[in-house]
Amino acid sequence: MSGYAVWGWGGPTDEPTTQSLTELAPLIAATTGVAVQPPEVPAPDQQLDGGQRRLPASLSRLGSEDPVDRARHGIGRAYRDLIRGIRGELTDLPDLVVRPETEQDVTDVLDWAVGEGAPVVPFGGGSSVTGGVEPRGLEGAISLDLSRLSGLVEVDATSRAVRLRAGTFGPDVETALKPHGLTLRFYPQSFERSTVGGWVATRAAGHFSTRLTHIDDLVESIRAVTPAGPWESRRLPGSGAGPSPDRLLLGSEGSLGVITEAWLRAQPRPAYRWTGTFAAPDFTTGAQAVRAIVQSGVAPATSRLIDPVEAALSGTLTTGEAALVLGLESLAVGVTADLSFTKALCTDHGLQLLEESTPGDRGEAASTWRSTFLRAPYLRESLVLLGILVETFETAVTWDRFDELVSTVTEEVTVALREICGGGSVGCRLTHVYPDGAAPYFTVIAPARRGSEVAQWDDVKAAASEALLRCGGTITHHHAVGRDHRPWYDQQRPSTFALALHGAKQAVDPSGVLNPGILLG
């Protein structure tokens, strides 16, 4: 089974056509420097074998055996998923897609799964790029789609917090909060097709660069269902009462429980905004300026440093310099003081202000970057169909190791691309910044060998991951562990912590049905 409904990011009208790809090819070749291939025609629909599992009559109304539905829930949105979807090479699919409508439905499904020994893979929007929703190697798995368990349940205007069901998609969150004059201000790149539960389960990060950027920062309490019973933390602004039950569920990726609700901190919409784009002589100089800004106490809402490779590819800046897109925001007072200080600091570091926003206008370069950021998942589909390997990986590292990590990873991955793909380029940008470090985000573009793309990327990914850990970075800053990062996550975490995690897993999921292979096992 293939088809855009399975592998595509958008709706039917977003599917690239042969004509649109043919027209796009010369521009892509000129922009990336990679020779394009004739547009690939996705594989025709293929007949899938039916699954072996059957829900009991009491739950049958919740289940789907539809082939397209099962295929859609058998892959995420990584490069390797996209390739297999386009080719119709779908193997590890769930037997059933189950859509609970109430928390009691979740409990009943888990009770049945434990009795059957059926693996259960929670599914939000399916935007995982690390194999988190793929039932890889799991025979007779159930995809537990939480999309019907959605909506705004409660607003606490006094505490400025909101209670949301796990299956609520990003746009629906903001639509529901707008009449209350509130927003989460949480916009990951997958915003349009990711959910509250998915954000919490993967410790997602939004595109704001500082302060309230991780979902961790917004969580007030979490409710989940486990085979051992419900798991709900008390709503508190903070607590020193032992290890946090919320922190254990954050990033658990469905391995410790099925998240059903969360209380999240909301805020009013900003009243004041400013955006500016600076040119930096090089990426290192730009990073030094960014570090000086955040260590001074200024917390830009946006601080995207883009190296010359990515700046040119995105159209943000084509002069061979690095681009720094800065954004300042304020809820109730202006940004004048921070703005004057930030401009002066950038000038002192050798950066040149190219443009700045006027009221209601982000500025051309900043708007170009933002448009490219939002359209990237759609553009990637076209690149892949034109025979280009395009994928990303990200990390975080302290400032003292930052320069070495960026240079070493860039160099070693470039060598790997030359050996594995015959060439290619590595770009880098900073997505999130902290007083003590930053999150470099790398983009790989290389010629693909049709039929070998997955193996090519797996080899490049392994080289990148080894370099990240060796240079002191994390295997992921905000993409979660999934199945793809497991080998390096096992190296990164302390062995004694792994024992503690195994103990927690055994306590709440003794039968081991919750997303086996994620984090543990």
31 domain residue, yes or no: yes
377 domain residue, yes or no: yes
Find out whether 323 and 279 touch, Cβ atoms under 8 Å.
Answer: yes
Same domain, 141 and 282: no
Q: Which residue from 232, 201, 195 is spatially nearest to 216, judged by alpha carbons?
A: 201
215 domain residue, yes or no: yes
Same domain, 249 and 276: no
Q: How many helices (H) and strands (E) does the chain have?
A: 17, 17
Beta bridge partners of 79: none
Q: Tell me, what's the pLDDT at 114? A: 98
Same domain, 299 and 413: yes
493 domain residue, yes or no: no
- Which residue type, as a one-letter code, is found at position 43? A
How many other CB atoms are found less than 10 A from the CB of residue 468? 27
* Cα gap 110→405, rounded to integer Å: 43
Q: What is the helix, strand, coil percentage profile of the chain, to 5?
A: 40, 20, 40
pLDDT tens for 179-235 read: 999 999 999 999 999 999 999 999 999 989 998 899 999 999 999 999 999 999 999
The H or E element that residue 304 is part of is strand 302-306
Q: Which residue from 331, 23, 371 is spatially nearest to 182, judged by alpha carbons?
A: 331
269 contacts: CB under 8 Å, gap ≥ 6: 181, 182, 183
Same domain, 133 and 157: no
List the alpha helices (DSSP H) in 328-427: 336-348, 364-385, 399-421
Range from 56-60, 104-108, 112-116, 357-361 carrying the lowest mean pLDDT: 357-361
Q: Tell me, what's the pLDDT at 51? A: 84
* Cα gap 101→280, rounded to integer Å: 52
Same domain, 291 and 375: yes
pLDDT tens for 304-360 read: 999 998 888 888 888 999 999 999 998 888 888 899 999 999 999 999 999 998 655
| % residues pLDDT > 70 (the chain) | 96
Same domain, 319 and 399: yes
471: left (phi over 0), alpha (psi -120 to 50) or beta: alpha
The H or E element that residue 495 is part of is helix 495-508
38 domain residue, yes or no: yes
289 domain residue, yes or no: yes
484 domain residue, yes or no: no
* Cα gap 262→235, rounded to integer Å: 10
**How big is the CA angle at 469 (ends 374 and 451), to the nearest 5 degrees?**
60
Find out whether 389 and 459 touch, Cβ atoms under 8 Å.
Answer: no
Same domain, 107 and 199: no
How many other CB atoms are found less than 10 A from the CB of residue 299? 20
Residue 272 tokens, joined: 């004041």
The CATH number that applies at residue 361 is 3.40.462.40
Q: Tell me, what's the pLDDT at 451? A: 94
Instruction: Kindly tell me if the per-residue pLDDT of 1 is higher than 50.
Output: no
* Cα gap 344→330, rounded to integer Å: 20
Same domain, 277 and 411: yes
Average model confidence (pLDDT) across the chain = 93
Edge-first strand listing for the sheet containing 142-145: 63-64, 96-98, 142-145, 120-123
Same domain, 451 and 306: yes
Domain that holds residue 409: 272-470
pLDDT tens for 39-88 read: 999 988 767 778 889 999 999 999 999 999 999 999 999 999 999 999 99
Q: Report the b/e string of 406-421 with b at 16+ CB within 10 A.
A: bebbbebbbebbeebb
Same domain, 68 and 131: yes
71: left (phi over 0), alpha (psi -120 to 50) or beta: alpha
Q: Tell me, what's the pLDDT at 335? A: 87
Find out whether 396 and 441 touch, Cβ atoms under 8 Å.
Answer: no
* Cα gap 455→461, rounded to integer Å: 10
The CATH number that applies at residue 164 is 3.30.465.10
How many independent structural domains does the chain possess?
3
Same domain, 376 and 330: yes
Same domain, 392 and 458: yes
* Cα gap 409→442, rounded to integer Å: 9
